[in-house]
Amino acid sequence: MITFVLFHALICSTFSLCLVEAKTDGFSIDIIHRDSPQSPSYDPHLDPWERVENSLRRSSIRANHLASLIVGPEAKTFSSGGEFLMKLSIGTPPLEIVGVADTGSDIIWTQCQPCKNCYKKKDPLFAPQNSSTYRRVLYNTNLCRAFRGKPWGQNKTICAYEVRYEDYSHSRGIASTEKFTMRSTSGQPISLPNNIAFGCGYDNVGVYNYDASGVIGLGGTSISLINQMSSLTGGKFSYCIAPKTQSSKMHFGAKAIVSGVGVVSAKMQISKNGFYKLKLKALSVGNKRFSVSSKFLCSSTDIVIDSGAVVTYLPRNLYASLEASMEKEIGQLPIADPRGNLRLCYKISDKISPPIVTIHFSHADLKLEMRNTFIQVRDNIICLAFSPEYEPIFGSKAQENFLVGYDLRKKTVYFKPTDCTKQ
């Protein structure tokens, strides 16, 4: 799921001007990691290694929830305590909201006034009664069915939604439509097409202990933000994750096209619950290749590509082969992770030289440098940023300094080695 902070968006003074920019050249937005000092979630009392530990803990929780979602009811989804935040403006006149950006969710929702049961948030909640463009979704419509809605109100004509998360958090309220805007990096305000469907939440319980109004669903279903803005973007978006917590970019439409020297592409599947998946064929450590074999029950397996999990999770036997081969190639005595989050760690003073790890997707071989395979957890300790799990996830550490592009219409993901600090 990337935590994205889009800077304050205004209603376009000339609506058509926004549409021209989006349709011809595309547009870009600034994205910010939740642990950056620019993030509303930033906690100045934490040291860098406490922040790393927290991100690894969130990554583990996310992986566990993904596994339960794949084998469990499709109505459930991830915990919404993700890595990235996203700012949008909603309504007429506009009010800025901050949501957790989540590729593991499809529904956009925010807390609304009057809220019967809401978690504390210092910023004002969206008041639909104050917006001239707010509308409720009617029950027994296709849009209500996309929300998996139920009838509500005295005449049972209004569409009520409910989102339940694996950590027992939830949001309940009215399925609605509203005008959304965002600001591009050029300063151009972007007005999203038509009115965007979202959930106006009046009963919200969860672990939202930072400045988030709700969740911005970025998955592959029809009511995610990505699909609802597809008339502007052609179903194309890309991101470039900079190392640590530096500023990054997200691109839409023509600006999201990934091309040039070094690009590799892989066919993508979009699951019913909106996950973006690639076919994992094998993994190489240096020149030694480990295939996904019959002991994994199939000749290939799906791996979810996700910006919300820091660590990359592999099938357990494949991870065991990676760890053993990596340890042999490095040839130094490993040490224990002080917090027990990861399994293969070394002292930086040992001056290790890890081999390149190649992820073999179907029709694409992606080479990962040391910056993609190891994460620093203390001043003098680095650990392999991979972990065993039943349901594989290709995490954000492995995607650092790659321009990663999605084309939902061609169902293809593109990777290009890029210095994301210069994007």
Say if 7 falls within a structural domain. no
Cα 329 to chain centroid distance, Å, stands at 33
**How many Å apart are CA 150 and CA 161, to the nearest integer?**
7
C-alpha closest to that of 84 among 382, 394, 396: 396
pLDDT at res. 9: 34
Q: Of how many residues is the chain composed?
A: 423
For residue 133 the two structure tokens come to 């463009």
Say if 3 falls within a structural domain. no
For residue 380 the two structure tokens come to 């003098």
Regarding whether 269 and 164 lie in a shared domain, the answer is no
Q: What is the DSSP letter of 254?
A: G
**How many Å apart are CA 196 and CA 94, to the nearest integer?**
14
Say if 378 falls within a structural domain. yes
Supply the pTM of this predicted model. Answer: 0.85
C-alpha closest to that of 240 among 311, 309, 307: 307
Cα 30 to chain centroid distance, Å, stands at 15
Regarding whether 265 and 243 lie in a shared domain, the answer is no
Cβ neighbours for 160, distance < 8 A, ≥ 6 positions apart: 149, 150, 151, 152, 172, 173, 174, 175
Regarding whether 374 and 237 lie in a shared domain, the answer is no
- The answer to whether residues 247 and 257 touch, using CB atoms and an 8 Å cutoff, is no
Regarding whether 158 and 236 lie in a shared domain, the answer is yes
Regarding whether 304 and 224 lie in a shared domain, the answer is no
Regarding whether 266 and 216 lie in a shared domain, the answer is no
Say if 104 falls within a structural domain. yes
Its domain, for residue 392, covers: 258-422
Regarding whether 335 and 229 lie in a shared domain, the answer is no
- How many folded domains does the chain comprise? 2
Say if 2 falls within a structural domain. no
Per-position DSSP letters for 22-55, written without gaps between them:
HHHT-EEEEE-BTTSTTSTT--TTS-HHHHHHHH
Regarding whether 263 and 338 lie in a shared domain, the answer is yes
Catalytic residues: 102, 306
Regarding whether 172 and 113 lie in a shared domain, the answer is yes
Which of the listed residues 197, 231, 253 is the one where a domain comes to its end? 253
pLDDT at res. 211: 61
Say if 4 falls within a structural domain. no
Which of the listed residues 216, 238, 253 is the one where a domain comes to its end? 253
Regarding whether 184 and 164 lie in a shared domain, the answer is yes
Say if 417 falls within a structural domain. yes
**Residue carrying the six token digits 């910010």:** 32
| Per-position pLDDT tens, the chain of length 423 | 444 343 333 333 333 334 444 445 789 887 776 777 766 667 878 888 888 887 788 777 667 666 655 554 443 344 445 677 778 899 999 998 888 878 777 899 999 998 888 877 767 899 999 999 999 999 999 999 999 999 998 889 999 999 887 666 789 999 999 999 988 888 788 999 879 999 999 998 865 545 678 888 889 999 999 999 999 999 999 999 888 766 678 899 999 999 999 999 999 999 888 899 999 999 999 999 999 864 554 445 899 998 878 999 999 999 999 999 999 999 999 999 998 999 999 999 878 899 999 999 988 999 999 999 999 999 999 999 999 987 899 999 999 999 999 999 999 999 999 999 887
Regarding whether 239 and 344 lie in a shared domain, the answer is no
In this structure, the number of other CB atoms found within 10 A of the CB of residue 146 comes to 18
Per-position DSSP letters for 165-197, written without gaps between them:
ETTS-EEEEEEEEE-EEEE-TTS-EEEPSS-EE
Residue 60 DSSP SS3: helix
- The answer to whether residues 98 and 87 touch, using CB atoms and an 8 Å cutoff, is yes
Which of the listed residues 253, 282, 304 is the one where a domain comes to its end? 253
CATH at residue 56: 2.40.70.10
For residue 13 the two structure tokens come to 């003074």
**How many Å apart are CA 227 and CA 230, to the nearest integer?**
5
Say if 66 falls within a structural domain. yes
Q: Return the bridge partners of 406, or none.
A: 237, 413
Regarding whether 365 and 225 lie in a shared domain, the answer is no
